[in-house]
């Protein structure tokens, strides 16, 4: 089933081949266990933060995690948390050279999913799109402790 998501439903393979997003496949015991797709973008920030930063616009560089999927029979084994921690650590180190302030994603409204992202450092923004997905954001830390991520 996860293969069909990569190839068709989410168009992850197509976006990857076009160079508009990058998809990483995660293996566990030599089988596809999960995947995530991400890309560089920009995200709107609160007016207060824009004022503090001295910006005239309300947008800053960000990484959008377009999709994260863990095979259903492997959920609860820490694979999703490991993926998010890797994304956060990679984004932090990426931002040292290419300036990235946030990571954001859209979560399904399921309480278990929202809790999962909150447990992995993301906060709800209060924005819900027309599909009912909740925007979750994480501001990259200014200094990172390697053991934390």
Question: Is residue 148 included in any domain, yes or no?
Answer: no
Question: Is residue 75 included in any domain, yes or no?
Answer: yes
37 Cβ contact partners less than 8 Å away, ≥ 6 residues apart: 10, 12, 15, 16, 21, 22, 23, 24, 65, 66, 67
Q: Which residues pair with 38 in a beta bridge?
A: 22, 65
Q: What is the pLDDT along the chain (149 residues), one digit of tens a residue?
A: 555 555 665 677 788 888 889 989 999 889 889 989 999 999 888 788 888 888 887 888 999 998 898 998 999 999 999 999 999 999 988 888 888 889 999 999 999 999 999 999 999 999 999 989 999 999 987 765 555 54
Number of structural domains in the chain: 1
Question: Is residue 28 included in any domain, yes or no?
Answer: yes
Question: Is residue 18 included in any domain, yes or no?
Answer: yes
HSE-up of residue 8 (Cα within 13 Å, Cβ side): 4
Question: Is residue 147 included in any domain, yes or no?
Answer: no
- What CATH number should be reported for the domain holding residue 63? 3.40.630.30
Neighbours of 84 (CB within 10 A): 23
Question: Is residue 82 included in any domain, yes or no?
Answer: yes
Domain region containing 113: 2-139
């Amino acid at each position: 089933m996860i293969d069909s998501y990569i190839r068709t439903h989410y168009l992850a393979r197509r976006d990857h081949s076009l160079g508009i997003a990058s998809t990483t496949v995660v293996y566990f015991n030599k089988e596809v266990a999960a995947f995530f797709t991400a890309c560089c973008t920009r995200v709107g920030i609160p007016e207060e933060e824009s004022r503090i930063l001295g910006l005239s616009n309300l947008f800053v560089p960000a990484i959008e995690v377009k999709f994260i999927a863990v095979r259903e029979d492997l959920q609860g084994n820490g694979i999703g948390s490991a993926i998010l921690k890797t994304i956060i650590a990679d984004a932090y180190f990426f931002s040292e050279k290419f300036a990235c302030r946030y990571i954001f994603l859209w979560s399904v409204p399921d309480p278990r999913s929202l809790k999962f992202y909150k447990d992995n450092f993301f906060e709800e923004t209060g924005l819900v799109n027309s599909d009912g997905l909740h925007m979750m954001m994480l501001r990259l830390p200014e200094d990172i402790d390697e053991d934390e991520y």
